[in-house]
Amino acid sequence: MAANLAETLSAELPDDVLVRSSPARRATATARAIARRSKAAIEIDDDLIEADVGRAEGLTWPELEARHPETAAAILAGGPVDWPGGETSAALHDRASRAAERIRHGASARPLVIVSHGALLHELAIALTTDGTHSLPFAPCGFVRIDL
């Protein structure tokens, strides 16, 4: 999938693009695939790592609903999620806001590709949009373009 994404993006990316990636293995593999196709530089940004879901890690949806019904309800409501034994919504928001500031600064110098994860990308899109909201879908191994 990463190779297909890299192929799709490479036609649109200029030579001076920078790929900023989460340090997670799958994200860096995707970043490397994109960089190879577009001759881009890669930077690892620890703030782009996925949300720490704590005790929800590895649970199926029925298990999450049974063990942590308040977390499941928050997810279904589309509201902020404080993960049991993991990251709070406030901490995730703060981390995304820090990353957004670096992205804004970097985007003023050159085009950027961000490789990250669903929950973090959701918060990042909110931090990057002027009205603090977004309705962009983040599909696995998909991409969304945001012009800053």
Residue 86's identity, in one-letter code, is G
pTM of whole model > 0.85? Answer: no
Q: What pLDDT score does 111 carry?
A: 83
DSSP the chain: -HHHHHHHHHTT--TT-EEEE-SSHHHHHHHHHHHHHHT-EEEE-GGGSPP--GGGTT--HHHHHHH-HHHHHHHHHT-----TTS--HHHHHHHHHHHHHHHHHHHTTS-EEEE--HHHHHHHHHHHSTTS-------TT-------
Q: Do residues 78 and 122 lie in contact, with contact meaning Cβ atoms separated by under 8 Å? A: no
Q: What is the mean pLDDT of each run of 10 residues along the chain (148 residues)?
A: 75 82 93 83 94 96 97 90 96 94 84 88 84 62 68
Q: What pLDDT score does 142 carry?
A: 66
